[in-house]
Amino acid sequence: MPKTAIYTNVDKATLRKKGWMFFMAVVGLQMLFLIGSYLLQSS
């Protein structure tokens, strides 16, 4: 029983880390898109 609990905890931690990385990537892409469109409009 403890082994399965440890495994589920590790899975949750890795999933959370992957979700955070994905979230940061999406935000970064949106920021790049906003900056790119702003530069295109200003030039």
What pLDDT shows up at residue 25?
Answer: 96
Amino acid at 17: K
Beta strands (DSSP E) in the chain are none
Confidence of residue 40 (pLDDT cuts 50, 70, 90): very high
Q: Which two tokens stand for residue 17?
A: 């880390």
| pLDDT score recorded for residue 6 | 67
pLDDT value of residue 15: 86
